[in-house]
Structure 1
């Protein structure tokens, strides 16, 4: 079955698991240390006006990013809680008295209230916004301070700024990937991609079948990140966006950030649509190259968790569609 005749799904790696977003529900599957797979199932409740905004080119990218940051943080928090519980269980075997006190505290504050869910969602959005502001401002400031007299042309400064962004990004991802927990997170990221690719290829979702496919995918958020750098250089180089001081330069970048994000999202959709077209398919390669850092080859048990999450999401989606 061709990709066009199938629904398009996205996902997100979490600590020791994978989240998949369906049409009606988002599902996360996490493997506990006792090998039990636990699920978080959250119905998708998007307001009508948000749905309308997500149909508008340029605007839909920004809206989708904010929405996914808010909802994705809930699933990431769920996985972190389960991971923390398993770590606490290990500690409990060494210190039973401290474990009993911790269990009592957890019992007093157990359960997800509406305010907690809202708080986690807001924190997710704020962390994304803050991260983008830092990643936008710091390279511009560094280039202005270190290379202010190197080029007469603003285009040269913009290209150098983009290069600094890429160096900072690659350095950050490489250092993060050296830590054991992030390495496993990137393995689950690879497992997520493999499951989606196998599904789009019409394969039965078994571990053996899924493992045959690449851990890289055109529609990945990692590709979006590298496109924001490329699109940013092009937009900042337009003659109408000029600056005289470092503060004007940073101010213009922050002001143009929604436009850069919106166009980058459209480029991501475009490269995904052209991924089977000769020659044009190479337009998506910069994003795939970055995924060599943000994904790792998963183990069979990690692929099994990803399959469990995807199958549960599909099962609930079909039930909700019928109802």
Structure 2
């Protein structure tokens, strides 16, 4: 089935699993230590006014990011709880027994409303705080170290962007060396492979899915790169000037929603152009970053990703 006749889906890697966002439900599949695959299913209940905002260019990007941060944090928290239970149980484990076969166990949402809201708010606040730090710190650092190097503001903005990229790459490289994050990045690659196989109309078997690249144009990693590039362009506009380090930082913070909104539109644009021979290269900076944020998954990790995606499709059909 051609790609343009299929729905567009997205997802995210979680601890020992993958979450996929459907039209009517978000589903996470997690592999437990006993080899069971458990599911966490949360119906999507977006308010009508949020849906309206998500149709407005520039605004839809910011709204979508905040919504994804809120809902994604619930699924990440579920996977972390499952992982913590397994780690605690492993300490009490008796001498090794023969490994149990895979059993699919459905685990429905069991949190109270207050817990869900609390985790969602924490996810949004974490994103906002992280983005503020990532925006303000490079600007302040460049101003402190290189304030007299360039007379032209564009030079300072380019150097600020370079500092952001260096900090980002260093951070991703060092965390990717830890076993837990390496496995998380493998599940990230498995998520991309499943989406690519689905968009190509392939049957979702492990063999078919493994043929596809772990890189994908719509990835959130690509979005991060575009925020740096778009930020350099926006901050270089003549109307946005500064005289002190404090002016420079608060201008960045005030312009953050605009930069996020524009970056989201650029991400959509590059994805739409990915099949055009020359213009497809516009999305390459994001793909290069994914070389760090994704790893080649094992077959059992792809199996979890397929299970999550198939369960999401199944529930989406039931909830039409």
Distance 2:39 2:170 in 1: 34
Q: Per-residue displacement from partner, 1:3-35 (whole Å, max 9, x unpaired)?
A: 111000000000000000000000000000110
Alignment of 1:1-323 (within 5 A): 1-93=1-93, 112-321=111-320
SS at match of 1:29: strand
Q: Per-residue displacement from partner, 1:283-319 (whole Å, max 9, x unpaired)?
A: 0000000000000000000000000000000000011
Q: Per-residue displacement from partner, 1:19-59 (whole Å, max 9, x unpaired)?
A: 00000000000000110000000000000000000000000
Shift of 1:90: 1.0
Q: Per-residue displacement from partner, 1:238-291 (whole Å, max 9, x unpaired)?
A: 000000000000000000000000000000000000000110000000000000
Runs of 4+ in 1 over 2 A off after TM superposition: none
Shift of 1:91: 1.6
Distance 2:184 2:90 in 1: 21
Shift of 1:111: 5.0
SS at match of 2:29: strand
Shift of 1:181: 0.2
Distance 1:186 1:209 in 2: 20
Unpaired stretches in structure 2, ≥5 consecutive residues: 95-108
CA RMSD of aligned residues (A): 1.0
Unpaired stretches in structure 1, ≥5 consecutive residues: 95-109
Distance 1:112 1:52 in 2: 28
User: How many residue pairs are counted as aligned between the two chains?
Assistant: 306
Higher helix share: 1
Shift of 1:93: 3.2
SS at match of 1:222: helix
SS at match of 1:150: coil
Distance 1:220 1:198 in 2: 15
Distance 2:277 2:296 in 1: 27
Distance 1:55 1:243 in 2: 34
